[in-house]
Amino acid sequence: MTDLRHFAGASALALFSSTFASPALLANELNPDIGVTLDGYYRSGEQALSHREEGFGLGHTELTLSSPIDDRFEGRLTAVLEDHAGDTELGLEEAYIQTTGLPWHLNLRAGRFLSQVGYLNGQHLHADDFVERPAAYRALLGSHYFDDGVRVNLLLPTPFYWRVGAEALAGDRLGDTDGDEDIGVYTLSTKLGGDLSASQSWQAGFAWLRNRLTDVGSDGDAEHDHDHDHDHGHDHAGHSHGASYTGKNLYITDLVWKWAPQGNTRQSQLTLSGEYLYADDLNRYASSDDTQEGWYASAVYQFAPQWSTGVRYGEVDLKEAHGDHFHDQSLEETEVMLAWSHSHFSTLRLQYTHQSTDGFEADDNTVTVQYVMSFGAHGAHDY
């Protein structure tokens, strides 16, 4: 009889939960969404400012867990495995909570996350159309800048898409710093976009990143004795994806235009995109003429449901700090790629890269073969 009463009580509780509990709460009782993205490659030579080495290697492999927490919050965790000098490194790229369903189209996020400055930075690397981020990103943002902090976004009530946002971040990942600010970085950004027709859409953005930490990008020693013949950029950016070049002010503008016949992106699509990055106030020794800038422009054409090709050209002009003076460095980069995607979850990519450098040691021409494979939960990519 006792067993029957317990069974009846449990059944009533289950019926109550399924009837009155919110969908978010019920979803949280299940296992979270789990997704894995595998990234591997072979590269024929060394590239300047690259986070990938010559030969076979493991790229940006991700393990992601995400789930609603309740009817007001959701969470996400992304761990990253990468290969460097024969060692496998484990890092934490994302670990955040964010609100859902706040009034006035507000959204709050707290924890570790990708900053939303620029067009590419807020996207995961496996969603890119090329093997690596443009040279300007690799130099000034460490490929992709993520940090610990908070973000607030507001979607304005306009007939077109208009989002404004602000972030307060620790800033520890932006170069070699000796500052002790609790909040080292602030960002302000805005995005606008809309449809030009049934087949065309556009998006434009502007962002300002303010780094409050002192002597950003400096070695901090005006009398530092260094070897002028050392390798400037064989692995200059390091493997932690921290930016090696930056300034107290970083400005980014971006513009994207997409075309797909009647909006049918499954059949074909053309994407034109470009960004310009400018950094000033490099350190206490810098003059107004000591600035860093870079840009890129890319065109990617999906000419069949499973095939796409693209070309990207970019330049970056940098100042490598050595005590109280700087060394000029520059890089021009042309990339051509061909990719085959059997499905949304699998991509094989062949890419040719030509680099023309000043102040770096790298091969002029390299070929890279890459695979990007995902299984499990896989969220929609950004615009």
Helices (H), the chain: 2-20, 23-29, 135-140
Q: Which of 108-117, 235-244, 321-330 shows the lowest mean pLDDT across its residues?
A: 235-244
The confidence band for 111, taking pLDDT boundaries of 50, 70 and 90, is very high
Residue 246 is predicted with a pLDDT of 82
* Residue 277 pLDDT class (50, 70, 90 cuts): very high
Range with lowest mean pLDDT among 25-29, 58-62, 220-224 = 220-224
- Residue 304: pLDDT over 90: yes
| Percentage of residues in the chain having pLDDT higher than 70 | 83
Is residue 1 pLDDT above 80, yes or no?
no
Torsion of CA 87, 245, 63, 42, to 10 degrees: -60
Please report the pLDDT score of residue 103 as a whole number: 87
Whether 88 and 57 have beta carbons less than 8 Å apart is answered as no
Phi first, then psi, for residue 369 (nearest 5°) are -115, 130
Question: What is the number of alpha carbons within 13 Å of residue 166 lying toward its C-beta?
Answer: 3
Residue 170 CB: number of other CB atoms within 10 A?
16
Confidence of residue 257 (pLDDT cuts 50, 70, 90): very high
Taking phi over 0 as left and psi of -120 to 50 as alpha, with beta for the rest, 5 belongs to alpha
- Name the DSSP class of 381: P
- 323 sits in the region (left: phi over 0; alpha: psi -120 to 50; else beta) called left
Question: What span, in angstroms and rounded, lies between the C-alpha atoms of 351 and 367?
Answer: 6
The pLDDT of residue 7 is 39
- More confident: 230 or 260: 260
Q: How far is CA 211 from CA 48, 320, 322, 347, 364, in A?
A: 25, 18, 20, 37, 34
CA-to-CA distance for 177 and 175, rounded, in angstroms? 6
Strand partners, 375: 36
Is the pLDDT reported for residue 2 higher than 50? no
CA distances for 247 relative to 83, 112, 141, 186, 370, angstroms = 29, 22, 11, 13, 33
Residue 19 has pLDDT above 90, yes or no: no
pLDDT digits (tens, 9 = 90+) for 92-108: 999 999 999 888 889 99
